[in-house]
């Protein structure tokens, strides 16, 4: 009887992990974007069965647990502007069995698309307008959860750390 209980417990645990992996997402990104993305993930509210983590290539190469999370993820968001990140996905054979989205353009968008990377304009637009809210909504959208539209930033503007936003025209006062 103990053997049956142990086997049932094992299968429930294994099944629970496989089920959780279906709702897991990994972001592979450049060092320069990691702070903002980690802020977004830290404040992200998702159903309890969803898991999201972000990694730089250096982190993945140094920590096998991070690489294992990526392999278990069913959705990957990859900044293919750095060909080392797209090459990592190819080398680790991560295109099979999961959705892999390119967040920006690369030197060879057509070649990556032919290999299985998905260039989704909606997800890319969130990433082009980097903010905590846009990253959170990009993640929700990639996980097929309700998401707010992209909060677009002006193309040009002046930034001040104490201002509530960018000064996008000359009609402002301090």
Helix (H, G, I), strand (E, B) or coil at 97: coil
Rounded Cα distance between 162 and 151, Å, is 20
pLDDT average, residue stretch 32-54:
95
What CATH code is assigned to 22-174?
Answer: 3.40.50
Token pair for 35: 């702070």
pTM, two decimal places: 0.81
Rounded Cα distance between 91 and 83, Å, is 12
Structure confidence at residue 173 as a pLDDT band (50, 70, 90):
low
For the chain, how many residues are written? Answer: 174
pLDDT average, residue stretch 146-164:
81
Rounded Cα distance between 27 and 132, Å, is 14
What is the predicted pLDDT for the residue at 9? 37
| Residue 76, strand partner residues | 26, 100
Backbone dihedral angles phi then psi of residue 69, each to the nearest 5 degrees = -60, -45
CB contact at 8 A, 42 and 160: no
Domain ranges of the chain: 22-174
Question: What is the overall mean pLDDT for the chain?
Answer: 86
Element (H, E) at 52: strand 51-55
């Amino acid at each position: 009887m103990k053997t049956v209980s142990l086997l049932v417990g094992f299968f429930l645990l294994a099944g629970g992990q496989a089920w959780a992996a279906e709702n897991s997402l990994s972001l592979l990104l450049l060092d320069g974007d990691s702070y903002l993305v980690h802020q977004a993930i830290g404040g992200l509210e998702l159903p309890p069965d969803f898991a999201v983590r972000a990694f730089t290539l250096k982190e993945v190469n140094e920590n096998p647990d991070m690489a294992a999370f990526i392999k278990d993820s069913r959705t990957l968001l990859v900044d293919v502007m750095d060909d080392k990140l797209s090459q990592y996905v190819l080398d680790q054979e991560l295109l099979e069995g999961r959705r892999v989205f390119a967040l920006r353009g690369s030197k060879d968008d057509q070649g990556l698309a032919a290999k299985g990377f998905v260039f989704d304009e909606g997800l890319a637009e969130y990433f082009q307008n980097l903010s905590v809210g846009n990253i959170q909504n990009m993640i929700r959208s990639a996980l097929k959860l309700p998401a707010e539209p992209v909060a677009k930033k002006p193309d040009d503007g002046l930034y001040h750390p104490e201002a509530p936003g960018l000064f996008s025209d000359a009609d402002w006062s301090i």
